[in-house]
Structure 1
Amino acid sequence: MQKRPLGKNGLKVGAVGLGCMSFAGFYGSTDIKESHATLAAAMELGVDFLDTANVYGAGKSEEIIGAFIKDHPNFFKIATKGGIKREPGATERTFDNSEAYLRGELEKSLKRLGVEYVDLYYIHRQDQSRPIEEVTETLAKFKQEGKIGGFGFSEIAPATLRRAQAVHPVMAVQSEYSLWTRLPELGMVQTCEELGVTFVPFSPVGRGIFSKKPLDPATFKETDFRKHNPRFVEPNFSYNMKALEPFNEMAADKGVSPATLAIAWLLAQPGDMIPIPGTRTAAHLKECADAAEMTLTASDLAEIERILPVGFAHGARYTDSQLWGTAVYG
């Protein structure tokens, strides 16, 4: 698989990574055996960049990864996150970017992963009560101590990134980005390219909307994020599926799955993007990884833009509770 750098002149990893949120059951039940089979497939495919977080299943995702890499060391480069706080029994989350809290959570993540160091550590969500310069200094300290190889931020604004970069070079920024979620094009993609910061799109296949097998919201479990998400409920879901028909036909004409084509589109965007599709199965991971071997022409990109223009998706990205409440996505 082709390689891309994490940060300017930084560590190189496969152009397609693996988001491990689904290991914690966010899109349906799974188990450690299935998750480990997916990690084994990742090794075979050259997918060597894993993305997880301390809050995915209250540490479950990190524990599953840790159990696997114990017997398969020195292959994967790992990114994890901290900064989201939920007190026991609380129904809402808060954000804490203090040094004391981040240090404690990082140590717990390292223990669950069974490592002394992670390649990339993100602030999962920004604590607005704390200047980003102060948070950046904390992260730089972790790097100096040898606990992390570099750091980044999830879902921040371009201006905030510039302020952080003025303190210390930032390795990566992570935000939701796909053909049906294109908000990062309003400055973040351009800022990352300008500053030499790697942009890491999560949910690059639209939480399964670009899958080869048609989705049926009636089959979603109550715990599935999509069960109440505006884009997956009617009438929005039917509108979205109708809009995707010509895109799916284009993928079929090229002999690839819609997921492969959707990720290939991301890889063709400016900068060194490293999408991190989340999956629980080896077969779906292969579809995603195949995008790294696919080259889209200018004509292909123009056709995709025509059939799926900016803003085509019906429905908001999150409900209010998904945005501010108990759920943690990405």
Structure 2
Amino acid sequence: MEQRRLGDRGVGAIGFGAMSFGGMFGPTDEATSLACLDAAADAGISHVDTANIYGMGVSEQVIGRWGGRRDIHLATKCGIVDGPPRSVRNDEPYIRQCLEDSLRRLKRDHVDLYYIHRRQPDIPVEDLAGTMGRLVQEGKIGGYGLSEIAPSTLRRAHAEHPVTAVQNEFSLWTRLPQLGLIQACRDLGVAFVAFSPLGRGMFGRAALRRDFRAGIDFRDTNPRFTEPNFSANLAAVAPFRDFCAARGWTVPGAALAWVLAQGDHVIPIPGTRTADHLRDWQGADPSAADIAEIERILPAGFAHGDRYGDHQVAFVERYC
């Protein structure tokens, strides 16, 4: 697999997001998750991303049991405090305690990349960067990142202590980072890690059915997955599916290839619960003309509905 820079290390251009190991999209089990991680490593994926809130530690525990098998670049996150109501904390004592808890679950004495999952607005980002810089200096983390932030926040944090990566949602139907954030990352030498690059399943192997489990799968109340938006989005994506089929590409492979084409500092981190879906992530090699045609079929802003509902959008920085 092609290598891209993440901090001081090269990693596979496609990473792995382990949110689903915590049951966020439906039931899973440890044996299936471990097999999925093995398949990811066999496919050349060397960067694994998780968070303390994914299954309230379950995802980290699974990776901790698996981690000794492979040499991987590992990222985790803190900052979201489970509710109700959900809130955020970025104070140094809280960050340090969360890190120690994550390291225990991950069975590590340090983590390669540590993100602040959401920014606490009343703590200056310079203070937050100072906290993360001290953790780097102490050898607890290899570098730090920020998630769902604006370009201005990145620049302020980076001036205090260099940022390793920014992780925001980015895909064919979520294009906001192209309005300044991807460019800011490029200019500063910061990796841009794209989460949900397959649109939470909208760009999966087969067209989605609306059978999300209420109270378990958060798509059940997400505006893009509720009617009438859901049917409108399926119809909008259908020509892209036909385009991929005509070229012998999988839909996930083509969607990821489009994300990768947006900059050599962009690293998508698709996720899955099973090893079976991993084979769909590679194999598409679109030309510049193909990329242009994909953007004609799915122009910026084509999606029906917001990417988050009002109950999900708290502490996401908006800048456009």
Query: What TM-score results when the alignment is normalised by the length of structure 1?
Result: 0.93
Q: How is 1:135-174 mapped onto 2 (pairs within 5 angstroms)? A: 135-174=128-167
- Which residue of the partner structure matches residue 318 of structure 2? none
Q: Which amino acid aligns with 1:218?
A: D
Give the equivalent residue in structure 1 for 2:123: 130
From 252, 258, 262, the equivalent of 2:245 is 252
Shift of 1:98: 0.8
> 2:299 corresponds to which residue?
309
Which of 285, 299, 302 is the matching residue for 1:295?
285
Pairing 1:92-241 to 2, within 5 Å after superposition: 92-241=85-234
The 5 A counterparts of 1:5-154 are 5-7=5-7, 10-70=8-68, 72-73=69-70, 75-86=71-82, 90-154=83-147
Secondary structure of 2:313's counterpart equals helix
How many Å separate the matches in 2 of 1:91 and 1:42? 34
Per-residue deviation, 1:222: 3.5
Moved more, 218-227 or 99-108: 218-227
- Once the two structures are TM-superposed, the CA of residue 163 in structure 1 deviates from its matched residue by 0.5
Task: Compare 224-233 and 149-158 and name the one that shifted more.
Answer: 224-233
Alpha-carbon offset, residue 219 of structure 1: 4.8
In the alignment, residue 228 of structure 1 is paired with which amino acid?
Answer: T
* Alpha-carbon distance in structure 2 between the residues aligned to 1:273 and 1:27: 25
Task: Write the letter of the residue equivalent to 1:57.
Answer: G
Question: In structure 2, how many angstroms separate the alpha carbons of the residues matched to 1:295 and 1:60?
Answer: 35
CA drift of 1:186 comes to 1.1
247-256 or 49-58: bigger deviation: 247-256
Question: Contact between 1:192 and 1:271, CA under 8 Å: does it hold in 2?
Answer: no
Q: What one-letter code is carried by the residue in structure 2 that aligns with 1:147?
A: K
1:2: which partner in 2?
Answer: 2
Structure 1 residue 54, shift from structure 2 partner: 0.6
Q: Alpha-carbon deviation of 1:323?
A: 2.1
CA distance in 1, matches of 2:154, 2:309: 26
Contact 1:199 1:271 in 2 (8 A): no
CA deviations on 1:28-49 (whole Å, 9 max, x unpaired) are 1000011001001011111111
18-27 vs 269-278, which deviates more? Answer: 269-278
CA distance in 2, matches of 1:84, 1:47: 27
Task: Using the TM superposition, give the Cα deviation of residue 61 of structure 1 relative to its aligned residue in structure 2, in angstroms.
Answer: 0.4
1:50 counterpart SS class: strand
SS at match of 2:108: coil
Give the secondary structure class of the aligned counterpart of 1:164. helix
Map Cα deviations across residues 50-73 of structure 1 (whole Å, 9 max, x no partner). Answer: 000011111110001001123x04
Q: Structure 2 unaligned runs (5+)?
A: 316-320
The answer to whether the Cα contact below 8 Å between 1:28 and 1:221 also exists between their aligned partners in 2 is no
Q: Which residue matches 1:328? A: none
- Counterpart of 1:119, as a letter, is D
Give the SS at the match of 1:217: coil
Cα distance in 1 for partners of 2:42, 2:153 equals: 38
Indicate yes or no: 2:260 matched with 1:275.
no
**SS of equivalent residue, structure 2 residue 27:** coil
Maintained 8 Å contact 2:4/2:264: no
Does the 8 A contact of 1:136 with 1:167 survive in 2?
yes
Output the TM-score relative to the length of structure 2: 0.96
Describe the SS at the equivalent of 2:267. Answer: coil
Shift of 1:189: 0.7
Query: What is the RMSD of the two structures over their aligned residues, measured on CA atoms?
Result: 1.3
Structure 1 gap segments, 5+ residues each = 326-330
Give yes or no for contact 1:5–1:272 (8 Å, CA) kept in 2. Answer: yes
Aligned residues: 315
Letter in 2 for 1:265: W
